[in-house]
Amino acid sequence: MSSLATATARIVRLRLSDFRSYHQAEIRAGKGPVVLLGPNGAGKTNLLEAISLLAPGRGLRRASLDQFAARGPQGVAASGWAVAAMVEGAYGEVTLGTGVEADGEARTRRSRIDGEPAGSAAAFAAHVRVVWLTPDMDGLFLGPPSERRRFLDRLVLAVDAEHGARVNALERALRARNRLLEDLSTDPRYLDAVEQELAALAIAVAAARMETVRRLAAGIAQGRDEGGDDTSPFPWATVALEGEVERALAREPATLVEDQYRLALRAARPRDRAAGRTLEGPHLTDLLVGHGPKSIPAGQGSTGEQKALLIGLALAHARLVTEMTGIAPVMLLDDVVAYLDPERRAALFAALDALGGQVWMTGADPSAFAALSGRAERFAVTSGHVERFTAD
């Protein structure tokens, strides 16, 4: 894409303390792609997960806070944990830290920028953006819409750090409405108030998702215009949203759609009370992905085609993040390379080079990264330890 900015944000040092399988670990990375090598269960994904906590949210496994603290041999968890990354970026060097303080009074996650308290990891977005692809995503196109919604919200979050707060507020408002509906003695005015807030949040969430999907689709179209052809190893995708509110927003002004949705909620109270949940709204939206060259829904492609499509989508997303933020994101590719044939591997490495951001990849077999020859920074990961990979 011609408009790609050249700024990058690289993690030059990553430090973990009592995080997952690590008591203390440090990685110093240079300019090349980082390759983490080790057998299954060695702790490679744990390292990527630590980096993913530099992005807003709960990281690439969507783990709860108590899962991060390292458990000792007796299963006793450390009282705190920390991830700290020195990032070399547009504003020079900055240290981003996140974790739970040991023996801290409240067991809440705190974030710091150069030692100063930051609101949350969302504040890191000015310094670094992180995009990831993990084996968990393999079933994305065949799985339930909730998984694609989560994937979609991550896409949005990478370009709009406030999106997470918006989605959480929407979920809270939905829970509040469902609770009020359950109680037959609820004063309808309470419901009016909750539904008003719910409608405003729903429209904000839907609009943010639509904007990201529109930009993503435009970026994919531009990539095709600039020479991406239908025989590319990572096929271009069609992306669209399927939902009532989105359909209305495509036609009508947001204020009108908000009113309509609020009235629809009011009219649907008996139905939703009987169902025990709210049966209409962007909390049920689906992300429809298609295999562009084949003109079929993504889920109808072969396993390999779905994987290739997902990689193509991740690359398109990383380009979008670069275009919108001016900084190429750090890309985390967990167990992606080993499954590709040599031609696709080479194509992936070339696409990552073109993106220009820092890449962290994992694999069990060093030969899968041979095409990177001397450029990659390789580390051997064993249970609880990371060191430079030396065996050749």
Q: Which is nearer to ligand ATP, 52 or 212 (CB)?
A: 52
Binding residue (CB under 6 A) for ligand ATP from 7, 12, 71, 172:
71
For the chain, give the number of residues. Answer: 392
Closest approach of ligand ATP to the CB of residue 49, in Å:
7
**Using an 8 Å Cβ cutoff, are 63 and 49 in contact?**
yes
Size of the site for ligand ATP (CB under 6 A): 17
DSSP code at position 13: E
Is 8 a residue that touches ligand ATP (CB under 6 A)?
no
As annotated, the binding site for ATP includes 38-45
Residues in 340-369 at the binding interface with ligand ATP, rule: CB under 6 A: 362, 364
Q: Which is nearer to ligand ATP, 71 or 214 (CB)?
A: 71
Strand order in the sheet with 296-297: 237-242, 286-291, 296-297
Of 209, 208, 383, 237, nearest to 297 by C-alpha is: 237
Q: Which is nearer to ligand ATP, 46 or 358 (CB)?
A: 46
Closest approach of ligand ATP to the CB of residue 116, in Å:
28
As annotated, the binding site includes 38-45
- Please report, as a single letter, which amino acid is at residue 344: R
How far apart (Å, rounded) are the C-alpha atoms in residues 330 and 391? 27
Closest approach of ligand ATP to the CB of residue 59, in Å:
12
Q: Hey, what are 269's tokens?
A: 């109270």
Closest approach of ligand ATP to the CB of residue 146, in Å:
23
Is 70 a residue that touches ligand ATP (CB under 6 A)?
yes
- Residues whose CB is less than 8 angstroms from the CB of residue 95 and which lie 6 or more positions away in sequence, other chains included: 84, 85, 86, 87, 112, 113, 114, 115
**Which element (helix H / strand E) includes 349?**
helix 342-355
User: How far, in whole angstroms, is CA 263 from its chain's centroid?
Assistant: 33
Q: Which is nearer to ligand ATP, 44 or 150 (CB)?
A: 44
**3-class DSSP state of 16:** strand
Write the interaction track for ligand ATP spanning residues 28-67; mark x where CB under 6 A is met and - where it is not: ----------x-xxxxxxx--------------------x
Closest approach of ligand ATP to the CB of residue 16, in Å:
11
Is 301 a residue that touches ligand ATP (CB under 6 A)?
no
Closest approach of ligand ATP to the CB of residue 358, in Å:
19
**Using an 8 Å Cβ cutoff, are 322 and 315 in contact?**
no
Burial class (CB in 10 A: 0-12, 13-18, 19+), 50: buried
Binding residue (CB under 6 A) for ligand ATP from 10, 15, 20, 127:
20
Residues in 153-192 at the binding interface with ligand ATP, rule: CB under 6 A: none
**Using an 8 Å Cβ cutoff, are 95 and 89 in contact?**
no
Q: Hey, what are 331's tokens?
A: 């890309």
Of 305, 265, 299, nearest to 170 by C-alpha is: 265
Cβ neighbours of 119 (radius 10 Å): 9
Write the interaction track for ligand ATP spanning residues 309-328; mark x where CB under 6 A is met and - where it is not: --------------------
Closest approach of ligand ATP to the CB of residue 171, in Å:
26
Q: Which is nearer to ligand ATP, 18 or 153 (CB)?
A: 18
Q: Which is nearer to ligand ATP, 69 or 337 (CB)?
A: 69
Q: What are the backbone dihedrals phi and psi of residue 318, each rounded to the nearest 5 degrees, phi first?
A: -60, -40
Binding residue (CB under 6 A) for ligand ATP from 10, 15, 17, 21:
21
Residues in 113-132 at the binding interface with ligand ATP, rule: CB under 6 A: none
Residue numbers of the site for ligand ATP (CB under 6 A)? 20-21, 38, 40-46, 67, 69-71, 335, 362, 364
